[in-house]
Amino acid sequence: MYEGHPSNSSSTAVHRRGLRPRLPLLLGILLGLILFLDLEPLSPRWTSPGGDTIFWDLHFPRVIAAAIGGIALSWSGLMMQTLFRNPLAGPFLIGITPGATFGVALITYLGANLGLEDTGAQFALQPLAALGGALLVLSIQLALHKKLSQLHALLLVGLVLGYFFGAAVDIITQTAQAQQVKQFVMWGMGGFDRVIPSQLYILGASTLIGGGILAYHRHAFNAYLLGDIHVESAGKSVKNLRLWLIIGSASMAAIVTAYCGPVSFVGLIAPHISRKIQKTESHGPNILTTAFAGAALTLTADILANQLLPNSILPINAILSIIGAPVVIFMLARQN
């Protein structure tokens, strides 16, 4: 090797270091392009009579909710995978999604019996019911967290709660009327079109709080990934870190599920994509790219769901499952 001529590996390393500062810019341009395609600001639909109102009251909140929801779910997935030190962890593992589903099933069933179906109050109460069910599970987990020191115990409690609320939902749907079952199934498909402008503030605030927890404790979370002994040697409390991980991940997943329904695969895939881009497990570099990946996934799914077929809207969960399943299999195969 001649002196003064760097090797191929050194050249590649320098090239990567040169690209690293540009990475947020490149990801921002890509996300902006996807956002532009989803908003369709140049579409002739918005220039027709009433088009302006439809854009700002229905279309714009849906697209922004998709972006915020993707960021929240991706950060929730990152924190959940950190909590269990498992790349396949998600909100379902601690029972958040089953709890929210139970809340919606219960209000759908009780709404018709209490005469709320005709007044429209039932649809307004659905997000609150979902949030109540998710917070119920979160409160149970936090109460048990004070008594359970083993990580696998939290996982088992989450799975048990998931099965319990799943069984309760099955009983409710079995005794409900056909119209009630249809409403519940429609909610279970997930979608960002049900979000109204005033709810964007709640979605945004919960996402900022969860992201703040993730950013503030990023160094401690890195030590947590290495094992409990590394956390204790750094002078941190393992139980406190787990508490922050549960609160941050569960609250973001609960709010998104409450307003948008269960949205699958985003929390699982986005952290994997980010780690592939950043080539590291460290939380600091992955916070931003995980958010970009999550928002890109949900916005792309929203585009396909609303623009793929004319005069038809496809379920968001179906689109994300079609996108997500091959990606997960490919990543696992490459990793092996």
pLDDT-derived band at 117, boundaries 50, 70, 90? low
Q: Looking at residue 112, which CATH number applies to its domain?
A: 1.10.3470.10
User: Which residues, in sequence order, are CB contacts of 332 under 8 Å at separation 6+?
Assistant: none
pLDDT-derived band at 266, boundaries 50, 70, 90? very high
CA 145/CA 246 separation, integer angstroms: 10
Could you tell me where the beta strands, DSSP code E, fall in the chain?
none
User: Which residues, in sequence order, are CB contacts of 76 under 8 Å at separation 6+?
Assistant: 91, 210, 248, 249, 250, 252, 253, 256, 267
12 falls within a domain: no
**Among the ranges 15-24, 60-69, 130-139, 141-150, which has the highest mean pLDDT value?**
60-69
Does residue 53 carry a pLDDT above 80?
Answer: yes
Contact call for residues 98 and 157 (beta carbons, < 8 A): no
Count Cα atoms within 13 angstroms, Cβ side, for 257.
33
Nearest alpha-carbon partner for 66 in 289, 325, 237, 319: 319
CA 272/CA 327 separation, integer angstroms: 10
* Average pLDDT estimate for 77-89: 86
244 falls within a domain: yes
CA 302/CA 106 separation, integer angstroms: 28
Number of residues assigned to the chain: 336
Q: Indicate the burial class of 175 (C-beta count within 10 angstroms; 0-12, 13-18, 19 or more).
A: exposed
Query: Greater confidence, 4 or 178?
Result: 178
300 falls within a domain: yes
pLDDT-derived band at 9, boundaries 50, 70, 90? very low
1 falls within a domain: no
Q: What pLDDT is recorded for position 4?
A: 41
CA 39/CA 60 separation, integer angstroms: 7
Does residue 296 carry a pLDDT above 80?
Answer: yes
Q: What pLDDT is recorded for position 259?
A: 87
Query: Greater confidence, 314 or 119?
Result: 314
Our count of domains for the chain comes to: 1
* Average pLDDT estimate for 298-322: 88
Q: What is the per-residue pLDDT across 145-163, written as a single tens digit (0 to 9) for each?
A: 777 666 677 778 888 888 8
16 falls within a domain: no
Distance of alpha carbon 161 from its chain centroid, rounded?
20
Amino acid letter, residue 158: G
Range of the domain at 64: 25-335
DSSP for 150-166 reads -HHHHHHHHHHHHHHHH
Q: What is the pTM of this model?
A: 0.85
Q: Within 10 Å of residue 277's Cβ, how many Cβ atoms?
A: 16
20 falls within a domain: no
Q: Within 10 Å of residue 62's Cβ, how many Cβ atoms?
A: 19
Retrieve residue 171's tokens: 């009983």
5 falls within a domain: no
CA 241/CA 247 separation, integer angstroms: 10
96 falls within a domain: yes
Q: What pLDDT is recorded for position 180?
A: 75
First vs last Cα of the chain: how many Å apart? 34
